[in-house]
Chain A
Amino acid sequence: MNQRELLRVENLRTYFYSQGRTVKAVEDVSFSVEQRSTVCLVGESGSGKSATAFSILNLIPKSLGRIVAGKVLFQGEDLLQISPKRHRALLGSDIAMIFQEPATALNPVYTVGEQIAEVLRAHRRCDARQARRQAKALLDRVGIPDAERRLDDYPHQLSGGMRQRAMIATAIACRPKLLIADEPTTALDATVQAQILCLLHDLQQETGMALMFITHDLSVVAEIADRVLVMYAGRVVEEGAVGQIFDAPRMPYTRGLLEARPSVHAGVSSRRLAAVSGNPPDLANLPDGCSFRPRCGYAGNGCDQSMPALETINEHSVRCFHWRQIGAFAPVPEAAL
């Protein structure tokens, strides 16, 4: 086992059950996260990114679905097997999560200070006054001005960016080793988004935590990622270092995503955006063979026969029968990056 490895997910499968159908939201997903690194999970809505995150925390509501197979090894401990007590002790202290909608992820009936203090007091031995002092320091750290006064504010008194900062403060309160961020900047406007990304980056430098970042925004990925996992229909279809993914994407879907980004670069700004045609497949009724086949411009022999295996060369994995031939086509224009 790699010395720097913090989290290792092996063959994770999570199925949701609704109206007699089985929705395969996460299908055979494996990856690992090293200490201090940033891993981005990218994909369309419904590709299984958030389901993967919730499965890692073992927080899939029992009424909706189940993790049917797989291991989630955090520092060697399988989070899916440990006792509920041990699980609760890890969550919030060693592993923390931040959410897409800071407006709804904070409890409206408690002040920001109380919510930070609650996490501190649940996981660290400290009295109310120490917790308050630490909460103030945390609000200072995440860049909330006038922290002393803001401690006593309720979430509705804060702006969207402030709320996300407060959410981050509660998440990092116990200095987690792994922070899972589920589209934390999607609900924020562009300038605030950049500030939050900077903040997360600085915090990562400072505390050495690993960051698992879920997003559909490739410009964010380019900004922060070390490694990138592209998910499609519950499976990892391409994984590699950020440079590999952006400079030499192998999977047609990844290429489609990269080409679908707007660009402000002169000369290409006038072109129409290349959308990935079609819709994501029904996860309860996947097509035969490769799930991406119906939307793939390169689909050919064998694509409808079986699901291609994840093939790894130079730590760059791809799930496609024809990636070698596709690689010979024109690369994504440099300007689009």
Chain B
Amino acid sequence: MTIAVHASPDDPRLPAPSRHGIPVVTTVSILVLCVIVLLAVAAPAIAPYDIATQSLLSRLRPPVFVGGGADHLLGTDHLGRDMLARLLFATRTTLLIACAGVLVGVVAGTLGGLIAGTSGGWIDQCLSAVVDAQAAVPTTLVALTAVALAGTSPLILVMIIGFSDYYKYARVVRGEVAALHGRAFIEAARSSGASPWRIAMRHVLPNTLSPVIVLASLSFAEIVVLESSLSFLGVGIQPPNVSLGSLLGEARNYLITTPWLAITPCVVIVMITVAAAMIGDWLRASLDPRGRA
């Protein structure tokens, strides 16, 4: 083991460090994610067909790489709708919902954790109890209940996703706030006449952000999967809109005969989640003060 530790930096067996200290895997992940995001953003402009235009005469065409025609690069689904267009829009929807969901979770969780950690006492106990109770309830159950009560809409989906996630941030931020409380620079801020609110927002909050950023990037991958699962179950995005999960749900019935219908959205989901997780891992390593050279 020690041999590897003491290997010299120019040892040819070691991967060459990239110029900016960013590992190759991370660079690739960032590139992949950027391309996917660009395609999703540009979907209305580059989609070759409308996502809802049906053509029953040309249904279940195979993609071009399994012998299909060039007019439908990724083939067509069971109603003859162009899969490439649907995939582009589905990616767009999924990314949008996931981003909004993460944002809701981060804002709600950070604010909750900050309030709990700053005020302490019974406020802290109440908020912590709510967070702990929430963590014990399965998200799918919450989602089904919410949909049963309020119907389906993208907004409700975002809320469900955000509130399935916020407790992580609340816990982390509350812990960070508690740890920061005895720190001398907080005392110093108080001794220069800063109000409690100012201290919480300007001095405590920025110091809790790096674990929150890491957590958000790591849970982004989970949230993409969560959105897909909910849409797959039919409680997420509703037709005529499409998301990666609802594409999979539709493809389920044709898994034996035309597996590419399921494979293409799966590949996109895997690419997004793996890239996001890789970036999150790298962020964790580089924002962690102990890991810094």
Give A residues with C-beta under 8 Å from B. Answer: 57, 59, 63, 84, 87-93, 96-97, 99-101, 104-110, 118-119, 122-123, 167, 170-171
Query: Residue on A with the closest CB to B182?
Result: A61
Question: Once the chains bind, are B194 and A88 in contact (CB under 8 Å)?
Answer: yes
Q: A59-B191, A91-B190, A122-B194 are in contact. List 10 more A-B contacts (CB 8 A).
A: A57-B191, A88-B193, A88-B194, A90-B193, A91-B191, A92-B193, A104-B184, A109-B206, A170-B188, A171-B192
Contact pick for A122, options B184, B187, B193, B203, CB 8 Å: B193
Residues of A within 8 A of B190 (CB): 59, 91
**A199 CB, nearest partner CB in chain B, Å:** 18
CA distance A80 to B263 in the complex (A): 70
CA distance A63 to B119 in the complex (A): 10
Known: A63-B120, A107-B207, A108-B207. A119 touches B192 (CB 8 A): yes
Residues of A within 8 A of B188 (CB): 97, 99, 105-106, 167, 170
Give B residues with C-beta under 8 Å from A. Answer: 120, 183-185, 187-195, 202-203, 206-207
CA distance A170 to B203 in the complex (A): 15
Known: A63-B120, A109-B206, A109-B207. A104 touches B192 (CB 8 A): no
CA distance A167 to B191 in the complex (A): 12
Query: Residue on B with the closest CB to A99?
Result: B184
Known: A101-B184, A106-B185. A92 touches B206 (CB 8 A): no
The contact sample of 23 A-B pairs, CB cut-off 8 A, is A59-B191, A63-B120, A88-B193, A88-B194, A88-B195, A91-B191, A91-B192, A92-B192, A92-B193, A92-B194, A97-B188, A97-B191, A99-B184, A106-B188, A107-B185, A107-B189, A108-B185, A109-B206, A118-B202, A122-B192, A122-B193, A123-B193, A171-B192
Residues of B within 8 A of A88 (CB): 193-195
**B28 CB, nearest partner CB in chain A, Å:** 30
Residues of A within 8 A of B202 (CB): 118
CA distance A171 to B193 in the complex (A): 11
**A294 CB, nearest partner CB in chain B, Å:** 32
Residues of B within 8 A of A87 (CB): 193
Query: Residue on B with the closest CB to A85?
Result: B195
CA distance A307 to B193 in the complex (A): 38
**B113 CB, nearest partner CB in chain A, Å:** 17
Residues of A within 8 A of B120 (CB): 63
Question: Once the chains bind, are A99 and B187 in contact (CB under 8 Å)?
Answer: yes
Query: Residue on B with the closest CB to A176?
Result: B192
